[in-house]
Chains A and B, each alone.
Chain A
Amino acid sequence: MAAVKLMDFDKALELFEPVLGFEVHVELNTETKMFSDAPNPANERNHDAGPNTLIAPVDLGLPGSLPVVNETAVRSSISLGLALGCSIADSCRFARKNYFYPDLGKNYQISQYDEPIAFEGSVEVELEDGTLVTIPIERAHMEEDAGKLTHMGGATGRIQGAEYSLVDYNRAGVPLVEIVTKPIFGAEHRAPEIAKAYVATIRDIVRGLGISEARLERGNLRCDANVSLRPRGQEKLGTRTETKNVNSMRSVERAVRYEIQRQAAILADGGTITQETRHWHEDTGTTSPGRPKSDADDYRYFPEPDLLPVQPPRELVEELRAQLPEQPVARRRRLKADWGFGDIEFQGVVNAGLLDEVEATIAAGTTADAARKWWTGEISRIANEREVDAASLIRPESVAALQQLVDAGTLTDKLARQVLEGVIAGEGTPQQVVDARGLAVVSDDGALIAAIDEALAAQPDVMAKIKDGKVQAAGAVIGAVMKAMKGQADAARVRELILERAAQ
């Protein structure tokens, strides 16, 4: 394969205007599938199931089987539509999208075609520097996922060259909402960043609604990124490519940047862009052509005759609207103000994905600063070391309890870090770790005075220096006392006691 030519990003932007569009598939975490009573593998409790264990006749397209709409999935879809600022259809139908593929039990996908449940909305996304961008939403529609093919025996893991393929129908029928944006103009050099922020916002929204596990690495959230370029000053849109299934936020950003650079190089050479789907390769940071996609693809859509139209009652829609959580952007603004953070401090929390944790820690009884310091400091450090999510290490309540021990003088900062390790290691609550490890600060003045006397006796000249006004000489004694107390003393209190001694 010939090396792909890329144009410098800034140069590309100089010559061309990028136009973006996204299709994000959200797997809902309902108990059962979209059209069957089989357990839903996109629900946390089922995600470890073995292949072909979560299946009902309709997922396999067995003769005589019929679909039945999952009402919870409809409610989730309405909530998501509302959170995206969409109108909700009074009545909408499912349609069959017909195509043959071995991962599709019926050889048609039940989807929505010309009657999506939610349409015409917009969502605000916030970039890292706080800039707000409005992304126009065309529609959000309900559909079912297909099964999963694993191609065996080939070099690439793709169907080309494979000897045979394995099919797992667990995923067949998983409820999906596909969110489709309108073309996004004016993204310019921030296009890659906007792509990432958009996906992050969708993730935050569905998490806030509690309707999806929203884990990109598991495919709970899958983004197809459409990119086209048009020469500066041209009205007509360029030919687009659709990069499929980009499964991390960082990849979305990279894939958009890559496509801009790749397409710009082709166009600048007088070439044309092929309308096609492209695959993103995480390892090389490149895309490669998939199947050609044209508007002439004929899925022979027609209204699904096995299902009645979905007609959500107005009261239900209003009830769901009233239950909507705060929008991510609005929430961030409120939290930043409540916490009194500066831009840098707040973005630190946001970019680390620790908003929920910090908020919960504050709610459990700490100051905002203390909560931020723990989460973006020591806890994040340990998480990075171990390559895990900070949130998975410790519960916010424990962090709050730990800070409270510091505030009460039971722990020094240094001791508190040891307690944190104990809590993370599963040794119990902060108090239990303090008790078990015997880490509390020695607050018994008698014990401290005894240690001070011993240290003074060993360094007889020190007391004279202090009395002469050379207070810094106390440092040596404090160090000796802390060492004798194995660190479990409050250095400030030791200093106080030494100075009291000198004043006697």
Chain B
Amino acid sequence: MSEIIRWTAAELGAKLTAGEVSSVEATQAHLDRIAAVDGDVHAFLHVNEHALDAAADVDRRRAAGEDLGELAGVPLAIKDVLVTTDQPSTSGSRILEGYRSPFDATVVARARAAGLIGIGKTNMDEFAMGSSTEFSAYGATHNPWDLDRIPGGSGGGSAAAVAAFEAPIALGSDTGGSIRQPAHVTGTVGIKPTYGGVSRYGAIALASSLDQVGPVARTVLDAGLLHDVIGGHDPKDSTSLPDAWPSFAAAAREGATGQVLKGLRVGVVKELPDSGFQSGVAGSFHAALKLMEAQGAEIVEISAPHFEYGVAAYYLILPAEASSNLAKFDSVRFGLRVTPDGGGTVEDVMSLTREVGFGPEVKRRIILGTYALSAGYYDAYYGSAQKVRTLIQQDFDAAFAQVDVIATPSAPTTAFKLGEKIGDPLQMYLNDLTTIPANLAGVPGISIPSGLAEEDGLPVGIQFLAPAREDARLYRVGGALETLLVDAWGGPLLDRAPILGGTR
């Protein structure tokens, strides 16, 4: 295994800048890695045949003396929910098999402009509906820590790609935890930025008011570097914030000095008792808090009484918006078309195409959402859910009047076995218990590895939440805790992951 793939994006970027390695070499190393392990992991739906050309182009520009960014020449895995002009974009669905977008998502265009090398498109639950990638139309992704376990979802592909060293960094999207929960179960770092902090243009919409694109990485600094590239106002997304943002990489670096923990008020939610979590998850969480406390952080119990309604509200708002967002997949203009034997009306063709093209979870949520928006039910379901959303926002406002960040375990359990929850949607939905409130309130959240669960040796993540627009605070706090933990472990958590290679 080439040592290149073990480097962080920051390290690789520095070596590329110093001329110690070329982008072609780095890209080839990752392509080799994908060839070696992706048969097992199945993080990628498509490997970019143009990656080496793009890498060679960056090398040429560098040789010509062009001033390139910190990440120029670094490979990037892209969640298939983001549309790309040079690779297919399916959002994990059969209905978009082979679909080519005539435009790049804004985040993809920005990554391209910064010289990042799109190395491939990563697997995901169909249209980002799921917590395990098992609902991908193209087969599940496997957790590099235990190939019989789920890599989280919906962005299991991006998290697994990064955890399996198939790419140093990746793009994800997080509607209810799809960046943070996979980070939790794969021992990686994931950030859901403030709603509006990163453009949604070109992200195939699941639930427009909840979706947010964000970085997936092995370190907090790498996530910050990528966030700096993709973030900021985009006039093509009306919900994009016009704010100027500080450098998140700088915030991560500042955090690594450890000073930020002194006097930091960390809120712990009373309504999320340990009983709701696997014991090793709760154990790892409290150990991390102790470490922070030792560095001068103050742990404060806060109340967020409406968090418990979050999952219920989320599973009304999300399906409602999704039922409308997914209506465009009707075979008329693009994508799969299935015509009934002997022909039929346009309605027949639309109907059969959707019957064949959508998987069970997508259909479940479209039906749920259609029902929730129906006349006579709107107030009871969608209307009430929006009220809960407001109450959760008020919970956050009250909490952030007392504390600087809120900490929770990133998910209730470690990676469960593939197939374990696929027949039980409610159990699957409850996986998002701690991540969903951030999406409902639009606040940013980060998940970083906090250790391994005692009972199963699988990774556990700790989540920090900050007020809207305070993403930099998460990078500072995350960077600080990461440094403490890596020191305590004597190296990155992923060093303890099993060695992958060969085929199963």
Contact surface of A with B, Cβ cutoff 8 Å: 57, 60-69, 96, 98, 100, 102, 105-108, 165, 167, 296, 298, 300-302, 305-308
Contacts and interface: CB of A to CB of B under 8 A. Distances in A.
Given A60-B333, A64-B83, A100-B330, A302 B236 contact: no
B279 interface: no
Contacts of B201: 64-66
Given A66-B200, A98-B323, A300-B323, 5 more contacts: A60-B333, A63-B96, A65-B201, A68-B235, A300-B378
Contacts of A60: 333-334
B373 A302 contact: yes
In the A-B complex, the 5 residue pairs with the closest CB atoms: A107-B327, A300-B373, A305-B208, A61-B328, A305-B209
A61 B201 CA distance: 13
A63 B330 contact: no
Contacts of B378: 300, 302
A165 B345 CA distance: 11
Given A296-B375, A302-B320, A305-B208, A62 B334 contact: yes
A306 B373 CA distance: 17
Contact of A106 (B99, B235, B328): B328
A301 B91 CA distance: 26
B328 A105 contact: yes
B327 to A, nearest CB: 3
Interface in B361-413: 370, 373-375, 378, 382
Contacts of A165: 346
Nearest to A56: B103
Given A64-B205, A302-B382, A98 B373 contact: yes
A100 B324 CA distance: 10
A307 B202 CA distance: 15
7 contacts: A60-B333, A60-B334, A62-B333, A63-B328, A100-B350, A102-B346, A300-B323
Interface string B95-109: 010010111010000
B351 to A, nearest CB: 9
Contacts, number: 99
B487 interface: no
Contact of A62 (B101, B237, B323): B101
B101 A298 contact: no
Among A63, A105, A306, residue most surrounded by chain B Cβ atoms (within 10 Å): A63
Interface of B: 82-83, 89, 91, 96, 99, 101-103, 105, 200-205, 207-209, 235-239, 320-321, 323-324, 327-328, 330, 332-334, 346-347, 350, 370, 373-375, 378, 382
A66 B91 contact: no
Contacts of B205: 64, 306
B328 A300 contact: no
A130 B284 CA distance: 85
Contacts of B347: 100
Contacts of B96: 63
A159 to B, nearest CB: 9
Contacts of B370: 300
A108 B346 CA distance: 17
Given A64-B204, A98-B327, A107-B327, A305 B102 contact: no
B238 A69 contact: yes
A298 B208 contact: no
B101 A64 contact: yes
B332 A307 contact: no
Nearest to A308: B238
A306 B378 CA distance: 19
Contacts of B239: 305-308
B91 to A, nearest CB: 7
Contacts of B237: 66
Contacts of A300: 323-324, 370, 373-375, 378
Given A57-B103, A63-B101, A100-B347, A306 B238 contact: yes
Nearest to A37: B236
A355 to B, nearest CB: 41
A167 B96 CA distance: 21
Taking chain B's interface residues, is the majority helix, strand, or loop, or is none over half, making it mixed?
Answer: loop
A61 B333 contact: yes
A65 to B, nearest CB: 8
A62 B335 CA distance: 10
A411 to B, nearest CB: 60
A217 B373 CA distance: 38
Contact of A298 (B91, B202, B323, B374): B374
Nearest to B104: A64
Nearest to B108: A64
Contact of B324 (A62, A65, A108): A108
B373 A63 contact: no
A6 to B, nearest CB: 34
Contacts of A96: 324
Contact of B327 (A62, A67, A108, A301): A108
A106 B330 CA distance: 9
Contacts of A106: 327-328
Contacts of A107: 327-328, 330
Nearest to B326: A107
A68 B375 contact: no
A107 B333 CA distance: 11
Nearest to B373: A300
B386 to A, nearest CB: 9
A143 B192 CA distance: 33
A66 B240 CA distance: 11
A392 to B, nearest CB: 39
B346 A63 contact: no
A105 B89 CA distance: 19
A60 B330 CA distance: 12
Contacts of A64: 82-83, 89, 101, 103, 105, 201-205
Contacts of A69: 238
A57 B102 contact: yes
Contact of A63 (B89, B207, B327, B350): B89
Contacts of A305: 207-209, 239, 321
B374 A167 contact: no
Contacts of A62: 101-103, 328, 333-334
A298 B378 CA distance: 11
Contacts of B102: 57, 62
A63 B324 contact: no
Among B200, B207, B333, residue most surrounded by chain A Cβ atoms (within 10 Å): B333
B268 to A, nearest CB: 32
B354 to A, nearest CB: 10
A106 B105 CA distance: 18
Contacts of A296: 375
B315 to A, nearest CB: 16
Nearest to A98: B324
A61 B373 CA distance: 21
A302 B378 CA distance: 9
A296 B203 CA distance: 34
Contacts of B204: 63-64
Nearest to A107: B327
Given A64-B202, A308-B238, A100 B327 contact: yes
Nearest to A299: B375
Contacts of B327: 98, 100, 106-108
A107 B330 CA distance: 8
Contacts of A105: 328, 333
Contact of B238 (A61, A67, A100, A102): A67
A306 B206 CA distance: 12
Nearest to A103: B332
A300 B367 CA distance: 13
Contacts of B320: 302
A66 B202 CA distance: 8
B332 A298 contact: no
A100 B351 CA distance: 10
Given A63-B204, A64-B203, A100-B350, A302 B99 contact: no
Contacts of A301: 373
A96 B202 CA distance: 20
A217 to B, nearest CB: 29
